Structure 1
Amino acid sequence: MNKTLIFAHRGSAGTHPENTMDAFQAALDAGADGIELDVQLTKDFIPVVIHDETVERTTNGTGWVKDLTLAELQQLDAGSWFSPSFSTARIPTLQEVLQWVSGTQLILNIELKNGIVRYPDIEKKVLELVEQFNLMDRVIISSFNHYSLVEINQLNSEIETAILFMEGLYEPWNYAKGIGASGLHCFLAVAVPELIIGAAKAGTPVRPFTVNEDHHIQALISGGCSAIITDWPEKAFKIRTTMTER
């Protein structure tokens, strides 16, 4: 049986300020196989790594990401909200993260955050950067905006795409296949055994989010789930190691 991969949700978000280089480095150090992060565009159309459409929750700034230039965003403190010891953390550009990832063995799950704000050409801009760093075989692009995934597939059918969904869909692997996607990134609550078993038979990887409780981590690993997306990669790594050593 293939080992269940561990993806660090926004980096090691349980221990470090999410979507920062500190969180990504911590995930690598913790033994994560991959990193999940969120991408939006600045006012000057630069792909940056941040989850919310506004900066209030994770920085000392105010306003919408789409209304701030890269220079304005990079002046913000993206770490003190989590702990004063991270006051030097900044919002990274996707380019900066890809450059760092290219020096590791990590898989990178890029979530396009274009459900609320429809960023123009975000698909093209993200793909160009991934291609520039020659990371096509190590990147998965996911989104709740499935029209966006169809566009990615039309621009470059070589890159893996994954549908994000929160609902208990019936045989979602068939739907995913219909839009050219090959991964299922579902809300943990809908990662029922029927879905995991059926997807495995269909050869479709399932990577539920956000898997933080020990018993959920254990259940998904023992159920043969393709991967889990967790805020606590170090804990997940230890649980997986203990289970495989038995």
Structure 2
Amino acid sequence: MASSFQIYGHRGSSGTHPENTLLSFQAAQRAGAHGIELDVQLTKDLVPVVIHDERVERTTNGIGFVKDFLYEDLIRLDAGQTFSNRFQGTSIPSLKTVLEWASSTSLLLNIELKNGVFPYNSLEDRVLDLLTHYKLCDRTILSSFNHYSIQKLAQKNDKIETAVLLMEKIIEPWNYLQRVGAKSLHIEWQAVDEHLMENTQKRDIPVRPFTVNDPLQVSNLQKLGCSAIFTDYPAAAIQTL
């Protein structure tokens, strides 16, 4: 990864477009984001799809768990209208659709495996297979709050970058990363401090805080030595650089 500070659109440009949709990812790209962050789960028929919540209510007009929908039924849901009427008719994309589009761009990718609540047994393999097919392994980071999953990924494919997701400060996260086999740390931005940055920089561990929507915090985290940030407003973040 380049050493310069990078801006990732969190679920795309989710402050301005319906999150985790192709429209949102395209908006992040237009805004000049270096990368996009997206969330992946499996449907009942084991198709990797891009959606954050385990349930579909918040972001679509449907009801129920992602894992209980067949793919063909899931894509009939409207994933745009809850954000704004202007986006009515936008569907939940499959990971395949997003990767196919991303492979025609130079965007970096961060795929978060949403397997903290439901383990989605074959999720790691299915995501790796698609990334390999689209030749995107070298510009993708895989992250999860389920650190068993990250360990599994690191053991399966040591070429792909893996990141541990954390909500708060833990003691010596650089040692913990080594135990898991992960290469980088994605952490809630308020948990970032000088002690963390000093120790991770010494060891060349990239730290990428989320979700940073205040321009002042964007420049603070850049000054502290973070490698990147995740933001809902990539256009605004790019302007502060």
* CA apart distance, 1:20: 0.2
Detail structure 1 runs of 4+ shifted over 6 Å in the superposition. none
Is 2:122 aligned against 1:121? yes
User: Can you list the C-alpha shifts for 1:144-189, whole angstroms capped at 9, x where unaligned?
Assistant: 0000011111211111000001121122122112211001000111
Query: Corresponding residue for 1:244?
Result: none
Between the aligned partners of 2:35 and 2:103, the Cα distance in structure 1 is 12
Equivalent residues in 2 for 1:94-173, closer than 5 Å: 94-173=95-174
1:143 maps to amino acid: S
SS at match of 1:207: strand
Structure 1 residue 221 corresponds to structure 2 residue 222: yes
What's the RMSD between the two structures over aligned residues? 1.1
Distance in 2, matches of 1:188 and 1:91, equals: 28
Q: Which amino acid aligns with 1:77?
A: D
Residues in 2 aligned to 1:171 and 1:30: alpha-carbon distance in whole angstroms: 36
Query: Residues of 1 paired with 2:200 and 2:231: CA distance?
Result: 20
Aligned residues: 240
Q: TM-score, normalised by structure 1?
A: 0.96
Q: Offset at 1:88?
A: 2.2
> Which runs of 5 or more structure 2 residues have no equivalent in the other structure?
none
Q: Which position in structure 1 is the counterpart of 2:6?
A: 5
Distance 1:29 1:70 in 2: 29
Query: Would you say the 8 A contact 1:80–1:87 is kept in 2?
Result: yes
What is the TM-score normalised by the length of structure 2?
0.97
Distance 1:205 1:149 in 2: 16
Q: Secondary structure, in 3 states, of the residue corresponding to 2:170?
A: coil
Tell me, yes or no, if the aligned pair for 1:2 and 1:224 is still in contact at 8 Å: no
Aligned-partner Cα distance in 2 for 1:116–1:77: 24
Q: How many angstroms apart in 2 are the aligned matches of 1:192 and 1:229?
A: 17
1:42 matched to 2:22? The reply is: no
Counterpart for residue 177 of structure 2: 176
Shift of 1:214: 1.6
Q: After superposing the two structures, state which structure 1 stretch, 16-25 or 193-202, moved more.
A: 193-202
Aligned equivalents of 1:226 and 1:122: distance in 2? 27
> Where does residue 198 of structure 1 map in the other structure?
199
CA shift at 1:40, angstroms? Answer: 0.1
Task: Tell me the alpha carbon deviations over residues 91-131 of structure 1, each in whole angstroms, 9 at most, x when there is no partner.
Answer: 00000011111011111000000000110110001000000
- d(CA) in 1 for partners of 2:193 and 2:80? 35
**1:180-233 deviation digits (Å, cap 9, x = unpaired):** 100100011101121122111110000000001121111012222100000010
Shift of 1:236: 0.4
* 1:4 CA drift (Å): 1.2
